[in-house]
Structure 1
Amino acid sequence: AIDAVDNGINQYDTDQPPKYVNNTHLSSRVGRFNLDWTDPDQSSEKENEAFHRAMALAGSEFLDSVRFHVNSWLPARSIVMETVAARQTVDPSGEILVLKKFCPWKLHLFELEGELKIDPPIKYVLYQGMLIDVLE
């Protein structure tokens, strides 16, 4: 997505102009480290300092993304994948999933349903603590 943003590729196919401008993406935030044109100090030292701050931001974002995928996204996908594979043991229809423990499951489920061409689609997902979530 970073290269797409940098190269002006729209997120969605449309001829309509966007309803708002997103200036909070990484490329935009890094760009704000450029020296202000009104700053009287346009020295190489100040430019290098800004560059290093921009590198630190981009590096931090990258490491946060890697940590998230390693510590959350991949384990959740594995849990959902195992649950999908065993869905007929819960109910012969295969339309009910029971997660052994809660994890962020929705996106993984929708992706896996498409990849595995699951038909009929899964209609119910249950997990530990669900009743408490409903009652609170």
Structure 2
Amino acid sequence: MTTVPPDRSHGVDADRIRAQPLFASLSAGDAEEFVRYCEVRHVEPGQAVFTQGGLAAAFFVIESGSADVVADGQRLREMGPGDWFGEIGIVEHSPRTATVSATSPLTVIVMTAFEFRRLEAEHPDIAETITRTMQERLQA
């Protein structure tokens, strides 16, 4: 499994979190609380964010750049700013279902699996959006 070290030179703040469409409904206070559990990572083109079969330990939201999703050698989709990934393994308590690799310089906001579950529990609107998208991905 490829691990991407955090870039601690670029912190996450509440405005940066709330700028993402998925998190736009968070109050400033809720966003401030979740900031403590998020970090920003930069991934070079061609580098994997995570690989199929790996441990699902984090959830990712693309802030900038693009990434390909490949499962069993087949390209499923390209993602860009505002898209998110990593939810299936966390929600399903299963290994990663695909490999996600940067196709351009990629910046992602990363949330631990623990905080992702907490976010879902405390914010049903966000959980519903994530669940709906996850179901669409599993059916594709």
> If the length of structure 1 is used for normalisation, what is the TM-score?
0.22
- Higher share of residues assigned strand: 2
- Higher share of residues assigned helix: 1
The structure number with the bigger radius of gyration is 1
> If the length of structure 2 is used for normalisation, what is the TM-score?
0.21
